Structure 1
Amino acid sequence: MVSTPAVVIAAPASGSGKTTVATGLIGALRRAGHRVAPFKVGPDYIDPGYHGLAAGRPGRNLDPVLVGADRVVPLYLHGSRDCDLAVVEGVMGLFDGRIDEHNTEPIAEGSTAQIAAMLGAPVILVVDARGHSQSLAALLHGFATYDSGIRLGGVILNRVGSERHEQVLRAACARVGLPVLGALPRMAELAVPSRHLGLIPAVEHGSAAQAAVDAMTDLVAAHIDLNAVAASAASNAGGSVWDPSAEVTSEESGPVVAIAGGPAFTFGYAEHRELLAAAGAEVRVFDPLRDELPSGTAGLVIPGGFPEEHAAELAANTALLTSIADLAARGLPIHAECAGLLYLTRTLDGHRMAGVIDAEAEFSPRLTLGYRDAVALTDSPLWSAGERVRGHEFHRTRLTAPSSAAPAWAWRSPSGETIREGATPYRVHASYLHTHPAGNPTAIGRFVAAAADFARTHAPA
């Protein structure tokens, strides 16, 4: 398949305004008549929600650490089908990625630069102009020459202070031969509300999220040369398109797999539902704040999110909590990640939860963040003991009374300490570790097969 042309939105460092520029570009290019495919580098769940609002189609992630480098291009081709342009928002600084002391290459694994190289796409560098003057030329020269495999297609100046400031910065860009594709003024009112893990997810932010996306779109449309951006887009990536149906065997019985959604459980990858459906599941989304389990539920997925922000409302839905606890004890396959782990504990910040896991959880001032090379310690509906998985932790909560159930994973910390984490009571796999289904399709197939088995053995007489 011929690859959809793309631009990669990167920056010298975090906090430069990539999300504002990328989201605004997606919206403005769509408004101009383009069919835009939105992507985010890395494991981030929140930015793709805003991308999706702007594009009118799901935002997707490109993360070679979680899915393997060989799947990145096929997933890109899958996510950009029927589009004429793709916008890929980077992560952190252009060359920042997984920290590996043994890596001697200039491009880190999981970095924006690695994705740009894989796609053969130009990088548009977003520079926070505050505090910059003529010396910007030296910074740009360094980024343009650091690695010959990365091509800078232009610069977008963000948070420009005045017309004179813009003139000086444009002259600095011209000095190193980089075109300026736009200059955005300082606009504090565009700030999207955030909390302890970053932006508030678009699903939670509701109509205000759409208003923020519209404002980003208006800003970009007014101050960035969209024709120049579209003309710079390119990609030389090609090959086979990722196909979820080729990754799993379909269960003909069509078991119902319920996925927790709504404001409390917003983290998820688009490929997860696609793989579940390809494996034969009838996927139904429900909101644990107010809904019951869908009729005939034979498997339950509780993804990440912010249950600590909705603990009282979750606790108030006692019928659902009781139902989940009862079904778990009867062997319902349950896959719970991060927020899902918290929801299955006895209490969260003092509020009653499902009690499937004999542990208590609370908000913590400490951020736990990073990729993990994990090994499964016990058999579960998804993994067999001994299987190795790459995952990602991202949370500010902790278990204060650890579960007595067998742990789900083990890995070594950077200091060499062995960490055992998660819990696997009944047929439950619950953990803080986020995994990417496209990197572990066999696990998804097993889960649907376990759901089909539960449906058969618990069918009404």
Structure 2
Amino acid sequence: MSAHRVPRIVLAAPASNAGKTSIATGLIAALTARGLTVSPHKVGPDYIDPGYHGLAAGRPGRNLDNWLVGEDRIVPLFLHGALTPRPADVAVVEGVMGLFDGAAHASVEPGYGSTAQVATQLAAPVVLVVDAAAQARSVAALVHGFATFDPAVRLGGVVLNRVGSDRHETILREALGAAGVPVLGAVRRIEALHTPSRHLGLVPAAERSAQAVRTVGALGAVVEAGVDLDAVLRLARSAPDLHDTPWDPAAEVTPIEGRPVVAVAGGPAFTFGYAETTELLAAAGADVRTVDPLTDEALPEGTRALVVGGGFPEVHAGALSANVGLRTAVAALAAAGGPIAAECAGLLYLSRELDGAPMCGVLDTGTAMHSRLALGYRAAVALTDSVLAAAGTRVRGHEFHRTTADPGAGATPAWQWSADGPEGFAQGSVHASYLHLNWAGSPGMAGRFVAAAARVGVLSAHR
């Protein structure tokens, strides 16, 4: 175990909707524009914010979630992200919710999975993003409370967001000067930089294309003008060395011979996925290819297996349905015994129909939008042997959707995580569920899935 010097900061806030994502994305963009290599990270399971981070940094935004991957993997995964594909000059970690807000699950202590916990694990200084729009001197009391609440958390500075005027900024700075917490920047209210949202949060960067690029560039310019980047870098460089071994996907799985082609759904309809999933598939011996169900009329040549992650197929239901060629190819792959792993949006795509629009028809269930939001961490157990897990396997995942499936489980269900009954489908070579997983927390899934794909290849060769 060697020492790794990675300058780093964690951006947190007193509560949600303080502007963390805008400031974090702008900071990543501004530092990148200076010629620095920035490693972007996000606390929690969220898929959308890392998309903006990745757009700003030019390398994948990665998640750090104690619930999904386990406490012992946080520092190794952070180091892996900071060192891949090349060592970063600085890492920026965006927090989740309020600084001390953690997982709302009966099995863990208060604060578990919080930004404060991850900042402590990383021994990283915290920059508090404060929405100052509706306060003046009271900001000092607020910041003082956050600075002293937990001695293990080092609050290194404040960025004031949504400041109204020069006079407002002066009042805020004077108050915080008395509180002894450095002000690293002040950003004015700029409604033009508002990022569009929909029923599950922000619109993913991949869907906004050129508009997202312009927004990220504008955020970078705003942060460059309003934040003391040199002071931020000095604070980041004050973080101590990390003594741990970077996570290595090749050490988590045994590679399968034959390089079976595993297609992974991408494009604007399927933007939810963790970078570690494809890294684990490749380490397990797969030839990973991307397929866009909106535009590609066939699976990649030689495809033996398919992974369909999360996203917003409900927004693109008409176009997905119109692509009859790919829907037919997916159904044929399932009928031939090709392994398919589908999460949430993937389940919708494999269903008979989504809001009345025909889908792949692999699963005998109908899906539709619903007014109720299903959201939260889940501790699940596999009920059926499948291409992902043996029956009895325990995993931790999260659920995040406003759709329903009727029925919600097949004759051989995928998981159970509550007294409400089983969930999902584990039929033949298909595993489909609303449960989102980070495979870095259960890396054996990748090996099991690629091995199943390789067996299909062998069988096909002898037909």
TM-score by length of 2: 0.96
Does structure 1 residue 393 correspond to structure 2 residue 402?
Answer: no
Determine if contact 2:352/2:360 at 8 Å carries over to the other structure: yes
- Equivalent residue runs for 1:229-308 within 5 Å: 229-233=232-236, 234-291=239-296, 292-308=298-314
Distance in 1 (alpha carbons) for counterparts of 2:282 and 2:310: 20
Alignment-mate amino acid for residue 270 of structure 1: A
Distance in 2 (alpha carbons) for counterparts of 1:215 and 1:419: 48
1:18 aligns to what? 20
Shift in alpha-carbon separation, 1:104–1:314, aligned structure 2, 3 A: closer
Question: Unpaired runs of 5+ in structure 2?
Answer: none
Distance in 1 (alpha carbons) for counterparts of 2:182 and 2:199: 37
1:93 aligns to what? 98
Distance in 1 (alpha carbons) for counterparts of 2:18 and 2:447: 40
Distance in 1 (alpha carbons) for counterparts of 2:233 and 2:46: 25
CA RMSD, aligned part only? 1.2
1:24-70 deviation per Cα after TM superposition (whole angstroms, max 9, x unaligned): 00010111121110000000101111101110111101011100000
Match of 2:72 among 67, 70, 73: 70
Determine if contact 1:54/1:213 at 8 Å carries over to the other structure: yes
1:372 aligns to what? 378
1:225 aligns to what? 228
Distance in 1 (alpha carbons) for counterparts of 2:75 and 2:43: 12
1:176 aligns to what? 179
1:441 aligns to what? 443
Shift in alpha-carbon separation, 1:154–1:347, aligned structure 2, 3 A: same
Shift in alpha-carbon separation, 1:459–1:102, aligned structure 2, 3 A: closer
Determine if contact 1:124/1:152 at 8 Å carries over to the other structure: yes
C-alpha displacement of 1:141: 1.1
Determine if contact 1:119/1:235 at 8 Å carries over to the other structure: no
Determine if contact 2:105/2:377 at 8 Å carries over to the other structure: no
Does structure 1 residue 160 correspond to structure 2 residue 166?
Answer: no
Does structure 1 residue 342 correspond to structure 2 residue 348?
Answer: yes
2:328 aligns to what? 322
1:432 aligns to what? 434
Distance in 2 (alpha carbons) for counterparts of 1:422 and 1:144: 44
Determine if contact 1:121/1:236 at 8 Å carries over to the other structure: no
C-alpha displacement of 1:367: 0.7
1:194 aligns to what? 197
2:119 aligns to what? 116
C-alpha displacement of 1:455: 0.8
Alignment-mate amino acid for residue 247 of structure 2: W
Shift in alpha-carbon separation, 1:51–1:235, aligned structure 2, 3 A: farther
Determine if contact 1:6/1:235 at 8 Å carries over to the other structure: no
C-alpha displacement of 1:101: 5.1
1:78-120 deviation per Cα after TM superposition (whole angstroms, max 9, x unaligned): 1001111000000000001102457556xx1111001100000
1:214 aligns to what? 217
Distance in 1 (alpha carbons) for counterparts of 2:362 and 2:356: 16
1:148 aligns to what? 151
C-alpha displacement of 1:276: 0.6
Determine if contact 1:358/1:403 at 8 Å carries over to the other structure: no
Determine if contact 1:251/1:279 at 8 Å carries over to the other structure: yes
TM-score by length of 1: 0.97
Determine if contact 2:304/2:333 at 8 Å carries over to the other structure: no
Percent identity between the aligned chains? Answer: 60
Distance in 1 (alpha carbons) for counterparts of 2:76 and 2:407: 43
C-alpha displacement of 1:247: 0.4
Matched residue of 2:281: which SS? helix
Determine if contact 2:386/2:427 at 8 Å carries over to the other structure: no
Determine if contact 2:370/2:402 at 8 Å carries over to the other structure: yes
Alignment-mate amino acid for residue 127 of structure 1: V
1:112-141 deviation per Cα after TM superposition (whole angstroms, max 9, x unaligned): 001100000000000000111111111111
Does structure 1 residue 451 correspond to structure 2 residue 457?
Answer: no
Matched residue of 2:348: which SS? helix
Matched residue of 2:207: which SS? helix
Determine if contact 2:344/2:433 at 8 Å carries over to the other structure: yes
Q: How many residues align?
A: 455
Distance in 1 (alpha carbons) for counterparts of 2:225 and 2:333: 54
Distance in 1 (alpha carbons) for counterparts of 2:369 and 2:112: 31
Question: Unpaired runs of 5+ in structure 1?
Answer: none
1:52 aligns to what? 54
1:315-350 deviation per Cα after TM superposition (whole angstroms, max 9, x unaligned): 011121122112212211000000000001000000
